[in-house]
Amino acid sequence: MMMMLEAGGMPLLTDGLRAADDDNPRGYYEFEPVKRLAEDRSWVPQARGRAVKVISALLEHLPNTETYRILFMRREMTEILASQQAMLARRGHTADSSNEARIARLSSQHVAQVLRKLRERSNAALLEVSYNRLLTDPPGGARTVAGFLDADLDVKRMASAVDPALYRQRREGV
């Protein structure tokens, strides 16, 4: 999504500190202060008019003094777990797959709780974006995202930023 936004002309708030690697060959598009959002929100005004990547666990710490348009990326849980397994294996760690069902259940509960809280916020608009659907219809996804953001973005360039070659951990049948 961050690649799409960048290609479409959306200003990003990133720092480039985390280098591209085998897990994310185009980079991570992160901004280090986001990781401390629960303790320090002083950087948030810097993000006005820009896209910044925030993990779901930190969204509840966004201050109420700003307004937000949140693109919440959804992906099949089996693919998320497979991606994490592959990342751990590339780093020389052995992943314990015996807890996958428990992790999937807890992750689904977490997502449901985060989405419920986001919907209750009066200062946040929310669009859930299916990662899997985005890969099958980049132009449609780009139009939807640009419309939600109410931004003058180059939808064609956004759609062309989707690289199916980066879709490596797939659920069966895809």
The reply to whether 174 falls in a domain is: no
51 vs 29: CA distance, rounded Å: 10
The reply to whether 47 falls in a domain is: yes
Higher pLDDT, 164 or 40: 40
pLDDT at position 18 is 86
pLDDT at position 83 is 64
| Residue 26, amino acid | R
pLDDT at position 174 is 44
The reply to whether 138 falls in a domain is: yes
The reply to whether 84 falls in a domain is: yes
Q: What is the mean pLDDT of the chain?
A: 87
The reply to whether 171 falls in a domain is: no
Task: Dump pLDDT digits (tens) for 74-130.
Answer: 988 777 666 666 666 666 777 666 677 888 888 889 999 999 999 999 999 999 999
Higher pLDDT, 60 or 79: 60
Whole domain around residue 62: which residue ranges? 2-166
Cα end-to-end distance, the chain, whole Å: 20
The reply to whether 14 falls in a domain is: yes
Tally of domains within the chain: 1
| pLDDT over 50 (residue 153) | yes
pLDDT at position 4 is 97
pLDDT at position 78 is 72
Task: Dump pLDDT digits (tens) for 126-145.
Answer: 999 999 899 999 999 999 99
Task: Dump pLDDT digits (tens) for 10-47.
Answer: 999 999 898 887 767 687 899 999 999 999 999 999 99
| Concatenated DSSP letters of the chain | -HHHHHHHT--B-----S---SSSTT-----GGGGGTTT--TTGGGGTTSB----GGGGGGS-TTS-EEEEEEE--HHHHHHHHHHHHHHTTPPP-GGGHHHHHHHHHHHHHHHHHHHHH-TTEEEEEEEHHHHHH-HHHHHHHHHHHHT----HHHHHHT--GGG--S--TT-
